[in-house]
Structure 1
C-alpha cells in the first residue's frame, strides 16, 4: 500500500500544481505583452501537444517494457528545466522574450500532460489486483486535492503570483526525487505476459 501512496504523491504534486499554475498563466506572462487570450492558447497547445506525446510515450513504454519509471524521471527532469528557464525569464534573471515564453510554456505543458497516461498505467500495475477504475479514481482524487490546497494559498492577502512559478519548479523537482526512490513492480504485466526469467508474485 505504501508504494501506491508514494506513486500518488509523485503524480498529484506536479500535475495538481501545474493545473492551478496554468489557470493564472495570463497574469504571469502579461509582462511580455501576452494577452489573456494568447495565454489561453498557450495552455491549449500545451494540452494538445501533451495528448500526442502521451500516445508516443505510451507506445515507447510498450516497446521498452518495464521502463516506465525511467521514462517518467526523464520527463520530469525536462519539465524542471523548461520551468526553471520560464521562471528565471519572468524574474528577469535571464533575458526573456515572447518566443522563449511560448516555447517553455508549451513544451513544459506537453511533457507534464504527456506523462499522465504513464502514471495511470503504473498505478494500475503497482496496485494489481485492485480494480483499475478504483485506482484511477484514487489518484485523480489526489490530484484534485493537491490543486485545491494550492488554490487555498491564493487567499492569503498580498501573496501575488510569483510564488506559483517557483512552486511549479519545486513540484517538478519533487516528482523526479519521488520517482527516483519509487520501487517499480509490474504485477499485472507479469500475469498477462509471463516472463519465466523474472517472474514476480503479486501481493495477496
Structure 2
C-alpha cells in the first residue's frame, strides 16, 4: 500500500482501456459468429438447428461452471496475467483451432471447444472489468471507463450480424439447381473459412498487443480506493448476501439479464406480429447501435454530475418498463399493432435498459465496497445467468411465445422496485473524496472496515 498518499494518473491508462475494450468486443464478436449465417451452415456443413443452438448454449454453460474458480485465479495471477493468459490467450488459441479443418464434423468439434473457451473468456472479462477500472482510473473517470468497455463489447455483436450474411451465400436466395449441387456447399465452406481465418488473425494480433504491453498496475494508484484493502472471499460473500442494500442492488442487476437476453429471441417474440428476419435484424442492430451511444453518454454524464447513479438508472428502468408494457400489449393484441409502433416500443424498451449497464456496474461497486469488485460482479453475474437459463428454458415448458412479454415486463419492473427500496450509498467515492487528512478513518455501513493512510 502506498503509505505516502501519492496518487497519480498516467496517460497510458487510455491505451490500457482501448486494448481491453477491443478484447471485450472481440469476445462478443466470436460469440455471434454462427447465428447470423445459420441457414448457410445447414447447407454448407449439414449442421442442424440444435448444433447451432448449442454453440451458444455451450458458452453459457461453460461460463457458469467456471465462475467458482475465476475469483481465486484473478487473486492469484493478478490483472495482467489473468487478462493475457486466462483471457486473450484462451480466446485466440481457440479461434485458431477452428481453422484446422473445414470438415463438417471436425469443425463442429473445434467450434464447440471455441464456444467453451469463449464462455470462459466472458467470465474472465466479468471478473476483471471493474478491477481494471478501479486500478487505472481516478474516481471522476471510473464510470466513463466502465461505460466505454460495456459499450464497445456490445458493439462487437454488430459486425457478424451485418457482414457475415453478406459474405456467405444464403441458400434461400439461391436457385434450387445450385442448392442440390455440391458446389454450393463447397462455396459456403470456403466463405466461412475466410471468416474464421480473419477472426483467428485478429485474435492473435490482440494477444501479441497485450503480451507486449499490459502492466498489472500503474506506478502510483489513481485514488485512495485503488490501494485500499478489500474483504477476503468468505467475509465478502457474507457481506454480499446478508446486507439488504447489497442484496437488493445485486438482485436488480441480476434481473436485467432476462430483458438483455430478449434480443437473442426477438424473432420468436415478434414473428406473430408479421415481422420477418430482416426486420427483426434491423431492430436488433438499432438496439445495439443506440445503446452503444447511450452507454457512452450516460457514463460520462454520471462522472460529471456526481451522485445521480440511482436516479438515472431508475428513470431508465421506468422508461424501459413503460415501453415493454406497450410492446406486450401489442404482442398480446390488446392494442392494435403496426410496424411503426412495434419498432418504437421494442427498440425503446431495450435501449433504455441497455443504455445504463455501465452505470449499473458502478452502482454495485459503490454500494458493495469494500467487497472486492471482481467478487461482486461474479456473484451477481452468476445469478443473472441462472435467471437467463430459466427464461430460455421456458421455451421447452410453455406453449407459444406470449409468456415472453410477461417476463420482459416483470424483469424490468422488479429491479426498479428493488432499487427504490434502498438508500444509495457512495461508499467508495466517499473515501476518495477524503483529502489532505492524516490517518482519516472511514467506516462502511456495517462498521467493519477502517482505512488509514499517512501523508507525512
Instruction: Report the TM-score, using the length of structure 1 for normalisation.
Output: 0.89
1:27 deviates by: 1.9
Moved more, 55-64 or 84-93: 55-64
Equivalence for 2:249? 7
Preserved CA contact (<8 Å) 1:76 1:173: yes
Preserved CA contact (<8 Å) 2:258 2:391: yes
CA-to-partner distance for each residue in 1:28-77, whole Å, 9 max, x for gaps?
21233311232133122212211211111112222221221111111111
Task: Give yes or no for the alignment of 1:36 onto 2:277.
Answer: yes
Equivalence for 1:138? 379
Preserved CA contact (<8 Å) 2:316 2:356: yes
Distance 1:39 1:182 in 2: 37
Preserved CA contact (<8 Å) 2:269 2:404: no
Distance 1:118 1:194 in 2: 23
Moved more, 24-33 or 109-118: 24-33
Preserved CA contact (<8 Å) 1:26 1:36: yes
Backbone CA RMSD of aligned residues: 2.0
SS at match of 1:154: helix
SS at match of 2:422: coil
Equivalence for 1:66? 307
CA-to-partner distance for each residue in 1:58-114, whole Å, 9 max, x for gaps?
122222212211111111110011011111111221122111111111111111111
Equivalence for 1:117? 358
Instruction: Report the TM-score, using the length of structure 2 for normalisation.
Output: 0.42
177, 187, 190: which is aligned to 2:427? 187
SS at match of 1:161: coil
CA separation of 1:142/1:51 partners in 2, compared to 1, >3 Å: closer, same or farther? farther
1:21 deviates by: 2.5
Task: Give yes or no for the alignment of 1:164 onto 2:164.
Answer: no
Q: Which runs of 4+ in 1 moved over 6 A?
A: none
SS at match of 1:149: helix
Equivalent residues, number: 200
Distance 2:442 2:308 in 1: 16
Equivalence for 1:26? 267
Task: Give yes or no for the alignment of 1:175 onto 2:390.
Answer: no
Distance 1:159 1:21 in 2: 17
SS at match of 2:396: coil
Distance 2:389 2:403 in 1: 16
Equivalence for 1:80? 321
Which ranges in structure 2 are unaligned for 5 or more consecutive residues? 1-238, 436-440, 450-456
Equivalence for 2:70? none
Distance 1:122 1:164 in 2: 28
Equivalence for 2:113? none
SS at match of 2:429: helix
Which ranges in structure 1 are unaligned for 5 or more consecutive residues? none
State the structure with more CA Rg.
2
